[in-house]
Structure 1
Amino acid sequence: MNDRIESLAAEVADAERVVALTGAGVSTASGIPSFRGEGGIWEQFDQRDFHYRRFDADPAGFWRDRIDLRETFYGDGEIEPNAAHEALADLEGMGYLDAAVTQNVDGLHGVAGSETVIELHGTNREAECVECGRRIPAETAFERAEDGELPPRCEACGGVLKPAVVLFGESMPDEPTIRAHELAGQSDLFLAIGSSLQVQPAAGLPARAQRSGATLAIVNLEETPVSDRAEYDLREDVTAALPALVEAVE
């Protein structure tokens, strides 16, 4: 791995604009289970219970199931950023990374210190009112739901609160999607990290970057649909590869 990391580090140092895309593989090392695949969340829960149609028709039932999902998602302890999150924050702090685009909803990039983060699928750390758009900490909404306020409602307008994530059947928000495509098109080095690159719109970002002339580097334990087109295809643990990249850049 060392020679490839050294070579990639030189690319990072020379690039004018570096953008990273992160997927579930960046968060699993923090104890967060993936949604898909063996042992994933959707082996334990029925996806239909978290469809927007269910939320719209039965918000109280949706919130009851969401409490169970949250307990499975986060477990018993506090979820903390891991070495991969910290390495990306370090790269940004050193001036080598312009933005992190993430498919993850756990908010760990921000906790690790990353400042420019595009959350394609929203965040589990907030709840939003479906009427006025006001957001509150997710912890507050869940505490109220657990105390029997089902569904929890907005204190400003009385509208129903919803986790600030994109539900099945719900349209992707335009702003982060557009921004992610802009960043990919402006990059001259695009890092796809811990993502299977099988879910849109994230799956299309590496191709968008390459069409604009960017070098593509993939860090993922398994092959992705675009691995054969990447200049760098590192089948490595992201919590080892990214700190090594930071060290090599320094």
Structure 2
Amino acid sequence: MASADIERSVGYLGRLIDEARVIVPFTGAGISTETGIPDFRSPGGLWTRNRPIPFDEFVADQDARDESWRRRFAMEATFAAATPGRGHCALAALYKAGKIPAVITQNIDNLHQASGFAASDVIELHGNTTYARCIGCGQRYELQWVQMRFDSNGVAPDCTTCGAPVKTATISFGQAMPEDQMQRAAELSQRCDLFIAVGSSLVVWPAAGFPLMAKRAGARLVIINNEVTEHDQHADLVIHHDIGDTLSPFVRH
């Protein structure tokens, strides 16, 4: 986009934000790339270098579980070093101002919580990679506990309560989406008057349906993404520009 077009679009976004009563942001990997966390789907991303491990394979195969944890620990320095970017901080400012009741995110990096959102107001459609859970009884484990045991023998540990495998608290391919989070996301999408999709390619369903759900319910739809999305044609405003640059004027909104 030309600089004049970007300036006009950001100005219009500011007016939409001012006029809105309930704003619901929907965030994807693009909001976190400036923090150093890669977009796993992009060229050169993790999933182009390593085949994702489906949920049923993780459950059935100890070797798959071991490989899954090796990959996670290889990314630990990246996740641990990441701090909220300008996009996260702008949304957190609007949240603290009472404009945003909660954020819907496809991200697993915990950066919305770190930016100031209460954990209960972060709707994580794909889970959270900063801790683990037993896939049987749901008991929570901290990553340090898992890593200590994994480092001792190279084998992914099982739950100390029920014996089922312990997995990062993320949603893998083939794993059921979290019903409570999906329900909350649907409810918010249908009661907001401004829905802002930020940094998402909007190709992963059913999550990609929430912007259209909001639009059908009468909300204005804004899409902020570096690349074109399939939903651009439905939006009231589309900004193809750097997310941090676009949202940084609203950090102190």
TM-score (norm 1): 0.92
Question: C-alpha offsets along residues 79-117 of structure 1, whole Å, 9 cap, x if unaligned?
Answer: 222111111111101112121100011111111111211
Name the SS for the 1:158 alignment partner: coil
Q: More displaced, 3-12 or 93-102?
A: 3-12
1:226 and 2:231 matched: yes
Residue of 184, 189, 192 corresponding to 2:189: 184
CA distance in 2, matches of 1:150, 1:20: 39
Q: More displaced, 20-29 or 89-98?
A: 89-98
**Residues 204-223 of structure 1 correspond to what in structure 2 (within 5 A)?**
204-223=209-228
Q: More displaced, 178-187 or 6-15?
A: 6-15
Number of equivalences: 246
The list of structure 1 runs, each at least 4 consecutive aligned residues, that deviate by more than 6 angstroms after superposition, is none
The answer for the alignment partner of 1:197 in structure 2 is 202
Deviation, 1:150, is 2.1
Asked whether the equivalents of residues 12 and 189 of structure 1 are also in contact (C-alpha less than 8 Å), the reply is: yes
Deviation, 1:164, is 0.8
Q: More displaced, 167-176 or 238-247?
A: 238-247
The answer for the alignment partner of 1:82 in structure 2 is 85
- The residue type equivalent to 1:35 in the other structure is F
Question: C-alpha offsets along residues 144-185 of structure 1, whole Å, 9 cap, x if unaligned?
Answer: 222226221223333321111111111111111111111111
The answer for the alignment partner of 1:102 in structure 2 is 105
Deviation, 1:74, is 4.5
Q: Percent identity?
A: 36
**Residues 37-116 of structure 1 correspond to what in structure 2 (within 5 A)?**
37-47=42-52, 50-72=53-75, 74-75=77-78, 78-115=81-118, 116=121
CA distance in 2, matches of 1:205, 1:77: 30
The answer for the alignment partner of 1:145 in structure 2 is 150
- The residue type equivalent to 1:67 in the other structure is R
Unaligned runs of 5+ in 1: none
Unaligned runs of 5+ in 2: 1-5
TM-score (norm 2): 0.91
